């Protein structure tokens, strides 16, 4: 082992004396020792074991490439993430993705509640309640659900904002062990992510089947078909948000596809993206309600054009208001 340690010291003799290089050196020593002991247990002589270890770990350029280290950049001064920070970030990302998914689902289900109450009224299940009162109850349910959803967006957005530095380049670095651990967890999550992606998209595409089925059985039950459609869409979107967010958390830690953005731009994109999701969801809800309940198909498509204008107006206004921050 002394030969291996001396060889490792010579390998790093010309390298910068930084925390990053020391961490890399320590990680390599651990792996070289493990490999050496494994070879010795397999019956190799000491010289044979040393030769194999040096042959496997002795190319400095390959090691630097494998660890993603570029000595010409400023990353040597980046701080290392602690294991506790990584676990906390993954835990918070997973937890917030659940609540954000529920929030988006509530925006859609709020419309489902409105349509459901209207369906009960139209089919004579709420004859003791005046039509106007039933409509007011439906609107109240819609507003309450959307208000709860907005609260969830704000609260969880503030919780994840603590980790803005993880979403930008050149803010941190990981040890070899940490990278391997995160990569392993990412690969283990990949099948669930792909399955959720397929199921979520399939549910959204197939959701109109419920509506068409109720139309075929009895047109009076159209309202309940719309309710089923909206619930299925809500479930599909929740699956997409939850599993995609968890996958993005692993990618952010591994710096896969992380753009070189300032924290200000990250925050802006997150806020404008959330507003766009809410506006498009509400536009879809209004489109379905006005079409199936009030038969306004000839004109209700304008809601999407109006939604696009509102999103553009908000993005422009937000950019102007935060320009000098």
* Tens-place pLDDT, residues 258-270: 444 445 555 566 6
- Separation of alpha carbons 301 and 312, rounded Å: 18
- Separation of alpha carbons 240 and 199, rounded Å: 9
Reported as a single tens digit per residue, the pLDDT across 171-230 is 677 777 788 888 899 999 999 999 998 998 898 888 888 878 887 887 777 778 878 888
* Residue found by looking up tokens 């969830």 in the block: 152
- What are the beta bridge partners of residue 80? 173
Reported as a single tens digit per residue, the pLDDT across 21-68 is 777 777 777 888 888 888 888 888 888 888 887 777 666 666 666 555
Q: Where are the alpha helices (DSSP H) in 74-175?
A: 83-122, 131-160
**pLDDT of res. 251:** 87
Closest CA to 75 of 85, 83, 64, 86: 64
Written as six digits, the tokens of 238 are 């929740």
* Residue found by looking up tokens 């409509």 in the block: 135
**pLDDT of res. 261:** 47
Characterize 30-68 residue by residue with b for buried, 16 or more Cβ atoms within 10 angstroms of its Cβ, and e for exposed.
eebeebbeebeeeebeeeebbebbbeebeeeeebeeebe
**Cα R_g (the chain), whole angstroms:** 28
The answer to whether residues 92 and 157 touch, using CB atoms and an 8 Å cutoff, is no
Higher pLDDT, 241 or 72: 241
**pLDDT of res. 260:** 41
**pLDDT of res. 240:** 87
Strand, helix or coil at 139? helix
Considering the entire predicted model, what is its pTM?
A: 0.60
């Amino acid at each position: 082992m002394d030969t291996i340690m001396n060889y490792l010291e010579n390998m790093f003799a010309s390298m910068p004396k930084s925390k990053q290089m020391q961490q890399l050196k320590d990680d390599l020593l651990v792996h070289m020792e493990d490999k050496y002991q494994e070879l010795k247990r397999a019956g190799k002589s000491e010289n044979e074991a040393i030769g194999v270890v040096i042959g496997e770990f002795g190319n400095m350029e390959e090691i630097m490439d494998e660890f993603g280290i570029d000595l010409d950049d400023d990353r040597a001064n980046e701080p290392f993430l602690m294991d506790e920070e990584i676990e906390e970030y993954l835990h918070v990302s997973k937890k917030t993705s659940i609540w954000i998914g529920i929030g988006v689902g509530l925006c859609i289900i709020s419309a489902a509640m409105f349509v459901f109450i209207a369906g009960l009224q139209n089919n004579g299940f709420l004859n003791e309640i005046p039509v106007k009162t039933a409509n007011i109850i439906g609107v109240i349910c819609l507003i309450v659900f959307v208000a709860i959803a907005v609260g969830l967006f704000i609260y969880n957005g503030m919780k994840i904002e603590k980790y803005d530095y993880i979403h930008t380049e050149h803010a941190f670095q990981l040890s070899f062990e940490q990278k391997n651990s995160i990569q392993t967890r990412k690969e283990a999550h990949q099948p669930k992510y792909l399955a959720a992606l397929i199921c979520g998209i399939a549910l959204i595409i197939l959701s109109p089947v419920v509506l068409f089925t109720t139309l075929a059985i009895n047109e009076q039950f159209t309202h309940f078909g719309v309710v089923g459609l909206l619930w299925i869409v809500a479930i599909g979107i929740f699956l997409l948000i939850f599993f995609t967010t968890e996958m993005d958390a692993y990618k952010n830690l591994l710096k896969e596809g992380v753009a070189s953005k300032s924290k200000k731009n990250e925050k802006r994109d997150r806020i404008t993206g959330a507003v766009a999701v809410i506006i498009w969801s509400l536009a879809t809800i209004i489109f379905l309600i006005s079409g199936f309940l009030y038969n306004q198909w000839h004109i209700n498509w304008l809601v999407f054009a109006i939604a696009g204008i509102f999103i553009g107006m908000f993005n422009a206004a937000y950019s102007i208001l935060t320009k000098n921050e």
